[in-house]
Amino acid sequence: MVLKGKKIPLFIIASLLFGVKTYIVYRFMFNIELDNVLQELILLINPFVTSIVFFSLTIWFRNKSWQITFIRYAALIGTLVIYFNLVFYRSFTDFLTIPQLFQTSNAADLGTSVLSLVKLYDVLFFADVACIWYLSKKMDIYEYTVSYPKRKRAFVLSISLLLLSGNFLLAEMERPQLFTRAFDREYLVKNIGLFYYHMYDAAVQSKVKSQRVLADGNNLQEIKKYIAEEIRSGEQSELLGVAKGRNVIFISAESIQSFVIQNDVNGEEITPFLNQLVNDKDTYYFENFYHQTQQGKTSDSEFLTENSLYPSSRGAVFFTHGENEYHAMPEMLKEKGYYSAVFHANNTSFWNRDQIYTNLSIDQFYGKDAYEITEDNSVGWGLKDKPFFEQSMEYLQAMEQPFYTKFITLTNHFPFELNAKDRSIEPYDSNSNTLNNYFPTVRYTDEAIEQFFTMLKQTSIYENSIIFIMGDHDGISANHNKAMSRFLEVEEITPYDYVQLQRVPLFIHIPGHNNGKVISKIAGQIDLKPTILHMLGIDTSNDIYFGNDLFHDDRKGFIAFRNGDFVSEEFISASGICYERLTGEVLQIESESNQDTSCQSIKEKVETELAYSDEIIYGDLFRFIDFNKQ
């Protein structure tokens, strides 16, 4: 490349090409919310600042061949970092973290899911890398390298650092206390870029690893005080002891969201059986129940349910802190004579279940090896839900009672594959194959749950049990908002709408109860542990948890998400915007006001609560407590 008779140094060419590519990915591939001109400006300049800082390091190599080698591999490695994040983002609308990179035992099970996220046009992401390698191979190496004197190298370094400081200053102006309030990775990527986010993530990981070593349990008193004042209720639940001595059957319904309940596609009910349960007199249905998972997805859902602690903001607690001591629900139930088991036709090592289930005091895990799996009875991630429940019944009927059992379904898992012969309804017709195929797999799972109920009713187990059905997390990410807006018949999916889409169904079915109803109060997965224990008549006064019993009114009043957003009875806080919950009216944009509002007051409680939960997990603080002697 020539400019007025002079060759442009390769590090400048690489900086410009890499900067343009990175900006295109940020702006058009990642679904990043931009609320004002300053955010647009930061997103525009950050890719170029980052690439200039990194590629200008080449001037410190005196050996010209080393300069070329550095530029080649910096472009290749940087591209791979962007691309791996992009593929991950297409599925989870999130960015990779260091803990996830070490979840290697999950890799073998991700096959079809990952392949479905790779696009043919992805080869274009490597066009600039190919260009740089071509230039460095075909042209005279000395025409594209530089040999600056020490003073000029220092000048280039100063300019790079000045640009970086300017970027960080703008980021701090846009998002004050960005690094101390960094629950949301999108804010970090939007304001400082993907590469500095990964450097920050590495620093956080180092800090997290040191917390257990430095922890001594002294902070537990402060945490207990917060729980006593803000969470624990002095009143008794109206259903305290309603299921005392009964078995607990918990169905974790993979990726089922509440928008499918009492809804239809192509003129057909999506969930006819679950729709019946909504109006069943033995069933309580929570229509404003939210999942609170983060990167751990199903494992986060399990962690929330068993512990009433929040999952990690980075990676999955099942992996990062699987060796911790917990005071989980199965342990508390075991003290009352309950036997516990999990049924899930997947590998025992997936999500590190083979280790953490022992620490949660789960007695038995019926994994992949416990089932007869053939090509005909499996699809996507493994055993179909109908044969899964059928084969599980033999184990369930032989189990000593009372028991606490959890069934984790698989069929309604991304990428939502299902054979035509198993479809009861046809796919939706939109620009998103993911959303299109979602509805037939949801319907299949609905039918499988109905079949399970039928089998239970043919045994004595049914009348002596309480049955929970819960969607474990969302199945349709923000990458499919355009198709989702069409299905919901709205103009667009706003941050408010997206939070509302995080609602998942929760059914509590008590055979013979005859007092069920639809409950509209907000609730979340954090609430299940105290709710289940209270319904079984088990005392939780010595326990430490961040949820509330769903059947009493003296509650903290908000549901926190791992990124710092929240839902309360009055407000929804999402992407820095405070909405009126029932109408969706915008009340305040965080970046435009420093006023102390009710929304901001709740947000401070949310951040406090998340931080306390992290202290317990990262410091492994329960090892300092003997819950039996409290």
To the query of whether residue 298 is one of the catalytic residues in this protein, the response is yes
* Distance, CA of 552 to CA of 233 (rounded, Å): 8
| CA max distance for the chain | 90
Angle, helices 194-214 vs 64-92, to 10°: value is 80
Q: What is the 3-state secondary structure (H, E, C) of 81-125?
A: HHHHHHHHHHHHCCCCCHHHHCCHHHHHHCHHHHHHHCCHHHHHH
Of 440, 521, 507, the residue nearest 253 (C-alpha): 507
SS3 call for 478: helix
Q: What is the 3-state secondary structure (H, E, C) of 364-406?
A: EEECHHHCCCCCCCEECCEECHHHHHHHHHHHHHCCCCCEEEE
* Distance, CA of 364 to CA of 376 (rounded, Å): 27
Q: Which of 283, 293, 298, 445 is catalytic?
A: 298
How would DSSP label each residue in 315-354? S-HHHHTTTS----HHHHHHTTT-EEEEE-SS-TTGGGHH
Buried b (16+ CB within 10 A) or exposed e, 469-490: bbbbbbbbbbbbbebbbebeee
> Torsion angle, CA of 385/391/393/399, rounded to 10 degrees?
-120
* Distance, CA of 366 to CA of 97 (rounded, Å): 30
Q: In 458-527, which residue ranges form alpha helices assigned H by DSSP?
A: 481-488, 495-500
Of 391, 390, 386, the residue nearest 369 (C-alpha): 391
Contact 15, 55 (CB under 8 A): yes
Of 76, 25, 74, the residue nearest 46 (C-alpha): 25
* Distance, CA of 161 to CA of 153 (rounded, Å): 12
Beta bridge partners of 7: 2
What tokens appear for 272 in the block? 């006819």
- Terminal alpha carbon distance of the chain: 74
How would DSSP label each residue in 586-597? EEEEGGG-----
Of 417, 353, 342, the residue nearest 382 (C-alpha): 417
Catalytic residues, by residue number, are 298
